[in-house]
Chains A and B, each alone.
Chain A
Amino acid sequence: MPEQLLFAMEVTLNGLMAGVLYSLVALGFVLIYKASGIFNYAQGVMALFAALTLVGLMDGQVPFAHLINATFGTDVHHFGWHIPALPAILLTAGVMVVFAIIVERLILRHLVNQEPIILFMATIGLAYFLEGFGDVMWGSDIKKLDVGLPQGISETIDTVTYNWFGYGFFIDRLDIAATLVAAILVVTLTLFSQYSKQGRALRAVADDHQAALSVGISLRFIWVLVWSIAGIVALVAGVMWGAKSGVQFSLSLIALKALPVLMLGGFTSIPGAIVGGLIIGVGEKLFEFAVGPMIGGATENWFAYVLALVFLVFRPQGLFGERIIERV
């Protein structure tokens, strides 16, 4: 097989893996958008915050250590214990649920019936707040996150493909793990929303707020629920990205990467988020591989947006979005 084609195949596979991570972030957006019509810009910062909290808990950092030291002149930083990964993840999930409850109490409850742009702005405010809060609580230095996921090149795939094609594919084992986790997450979410009582209530709210209210579904409970789920999805995304490139501010920028995914897949569709993520992941890697060197590289910054933009001109509601019907 020609060398170029093999390269392209490898790039495509890597793009698929990256796309899975985009899909994970986009999933959090879609969940909240469907249930409350809020375009939650803070999703990326939520992933950052969750990852920061997880690292902080595992290393036994003292929260607000910097602030305490500055105020009282003390020098505290660590409790001196280490929590294993699994309980720490559960604890962090608990923190995200508490966060969801606080968001509902303090923000959403007061902004019922406002225009979408106002709600969007509020989530940007929330993103700023949470970013500052995370930094004050856990410090802003780059942290290493190690929850025991496999890392490094997958030897098996390398050998197998070498035997088949005479060229070993380089695929990170972390990406494979991420793909598996994302698949499990999506299946769990689908089962939850199809077969559990709360899941059905959730779908009812997504379908029609007022009808759901009139049959006795508590909107507030659903909001807390959906923000909790989005928080946990953010945690998973944060763990994956954090394990890949360290827990740092740039983690929150994955939210921006998820936006074209949403546009492509449609804001209201869970399968759309997944397919959109895969298309964007593969598309930007292939574009960078094929066209990037000719025009100076780093095309990944904008390719996804332009692809989504061009696509939207032909299909304004995205691939799987609900058809936009307008009445006067």
Chain B
Amino acid sequence: MIYREAGDFKTTYRDDSQTFPIRFDRRAYYALVAVAFLVLPFVMNDYWASAVFVPFLIYSIAAIGLNILTGYCGQVSLGTGGFMAVGAYAAYKLMTAFPELNIFFVVLLSGGVTAGVGVLFGLPSLRIKGFYLAVATLAAQFFLVWLFNKVPWFYNYSASGQINAPERTIFGIIVTGPSTPAWSKYLFCLTILFILSWVARNLTRGEVGRTWMAIRDMDIAAEIIGVNPLKAKLTAFAVSSFFVGVAGALFFAVYLGAVEVTEAFGIQKSFLVLFMIIIGGLGSMFGSFAGAAFLVLLPVFLKNALVGGLGWPTDLAAHLELMIVGALIIVFLIAEPHGIAALWRTAKEKLRLWPFPH
């Protein structure tokens, strides 16, 4: 009843090609943004911020990044964890080398550094494809993690090999370091996610995005109609790595505060982000958010249900959690291989006709 497009006439091309063409969607989106920016920061507490919201926001950025590469450009990458590590260590080096540099620019610059590294590891994609490429990106994953472990320059020769985020502020508000309030962590990540997802949305529907999709659908055909595969693939690697690097920088500086590279940015992280975009939906912005939300909430929910609800020992609960996550992934793939985004589309189609489906 409420979800109607009747009477919503578009008179210009601009109107017609907006992100949310249906008025109801558009209003829902504005309402969501308003709540996220104006209401949630005031009710944020430590538990919700560190267990749900901040990881969700950061993983959303990483998922959007990987989705650009895998979902839009069709290049499967298993090196996400390694690229996040690049972002984190770049942020650390920048923060310690230039203490007066604003943290906002630190985060963006570390994204830029990661983009450079991403392009470097993206070069083989011009020769190798498919699973061979996926395995080749594992080289990036293992090499980068090894590098950050073995070269003391990256962790400023600290005895523990860990990196710790010093305190930095924006407009006098602390956003990194141990004494950061929950709401400022949340708001900082939210702002960056908001800007970046706006950028990503407009990139993917513009010229660049179309060349990516042409390469994804069939690279030889795309080449024949005049898409430059070198440019398309490398821009996809650069943009994707930029996003992933920003996510890594935030993950280290804002979320964790102190990081040990094998633990925080191991191969598991690469798979986690890949799961997010597969479960959420490949080649869909909404899917990146939905997948991140799903995989952030699921362990929290399971832990509360198994340990809190049933009182089982934590190690048993952890094993059961693995089983449940694995089984859910399989069930999901069988039920809807195109992810939550496809489910959402079907739901919207149904809602349009509801309550008179004929």
Contact = CB atoms under 8 A, between A and B. Distances in A.
Interface of A: 39, 66-67, 70, 106-107, 110-111, 114-118, 120-122, 124-133, 135-136, 140, 256, 259-260, 262-263, 267, 295-299, 301-302, 305-306, 308-309, 312-313, 316-318, 324, 326-328
B146 A301 contact: yes
Contact of B136 (A121, A298, A302, A308): A308
Nearest to B136: A309
Interface residues of B, number: 49
A309 B218 CA distance: 23
Contact of A326 (B76, B138, B220, B324): B220
Interface string B100-130: 0000000000000000000000001001111
Interface string B322-336: 111111111001100
A302 B139 contact: yes
Contact of B135 (A70, A130, A131, A263): A263
A116 to B, nearest CB: 7
Contacts of A305: 135-136, 138-139, 142-143
B326 A128 contact: yes
B4 interface: no
A124 B275 contact: yes
B98 to A, nearest CB: 27
Nearest to B121: A309
Contacts of B224: 328
A296 B357 CA distance: 67
A121 B316 CA distance: 25
Contacts of A296: 150-151
Given A110-B334, A259-B135, A260-B139, 11 more contacts: A66-B313, A70-B313, A125-B329, A135-B322, A140-B319, A267-B131, A298-B150, A306-B143, A313-B124, A316-B127, A328-B224
B132 A312 contact: yes
B326 A136 contact: no
A308 B129 CA distance: 14
Residue among A107, A140, A262, A309 having the largest count of chain B Cβ atoms under 10 Å: A309
Interface in B59-86: 76
Nearest to A70: B312
Contacts, number: 142
Contacts of A128: 322-323, 325-326, 329
Contact of A132 (B136, B149, B218, B320): B320
Contacts of A127: 326
A67 B315 CA distance: 11
A298 B262 CA distance: 13
Nearest to B324: A132
18 contacts: A66-B316, A70-B312, A115-B337, A121-B274, A124-B271, A125-B326, A127-B326, A129-B323, A129-B326, A132-B319, A132-B326, A135-B319, A301-B146, A305-B135, A306-B139, A324-B129, A327-B220, A328-B218
B334 A107 contact: yes
Contact of B146 (A120, A130, A302, A312): A302
Given A116-B131, A326-B220, A111 B334 contact: yes
B326 A130 contact: yes
Q: Secondary structure of the B side of the interface?
A: helix
Residue among B150, B275, B334 having the largest count of chain A Cβ atoms under 10 Å: B334
B321 interface: yes
A313 B316 CA distance: 45
Contacts of B282: 117
A34 to B, nearest CB: 13
A135 B127 CA distance: 41
Nearest to B144: A302
B150 A295 contact: yes
Task: Rank and list the top 3 A-B pairs by shortest CB-CB distance, nearest first.
Answer: A129-B326, A132-B322, A128-B326
B233 to A, nearest CB: 14
Contacts of B320: 132, 136
Contacts of A317: 132
B278 interface: yes
B315 A140 contact: yes
B127 A129 contact: no
A135 B145 CA distance: 27
Interface in B178-225: 218, 220-221, 224
A123 B50 CA distance: 31
